[in-house]
Amino acid sequence: MKQVKVLAATILALLLVVVIVQNAAPVEVRVLFLAFTLPQAVLLFLVGASGFMLGILAALLLGKRGASKAPPQP
């Protein structure tokens, strides 16, 4: 089982390297009145990390709300 995890991690790492290499071109990002340039791979990482954090936050908030509605255990 450990070998499968190592193999999966290696494949994911190689895919990550491919994505970074293919998205190394700089892009201009405009947010409201700010404009800045950064590599597209960094932008992809920031967007993915933000979505991940928002997903965790939503799960934590909704999980607590759902747990309070559950009937008490005998």
Query: Range of 38's domain?
Result: 2-64
Residue 73 lies in a domain: no
Residue 59 lies in a domain: yes
Enumerate long-range contacts of 44-50, CB under 8 Å, 24 or more apart.
Answer: 44/19
Residue 70 lies in a domain: no
pLDDT in tens, 54-64: 989 998 998 87
pLDDT score, position 67: 56
Give the number of other CB atoms < 10 A from CB of residue 20. Answer: 15
pLDDT score, position 27: 92
Structure confidence at residue 68 as a pLDDT band (50, 70, 90): low
Residue 71 lies in a domain: no
pLDDT score, position 2: 85
Overall domain count for the chain: 1
pLDDT in tens, 11-67: 988 988 888 888 889 999 998 999 999 998 888 888 888 988 998 999 899 887 655
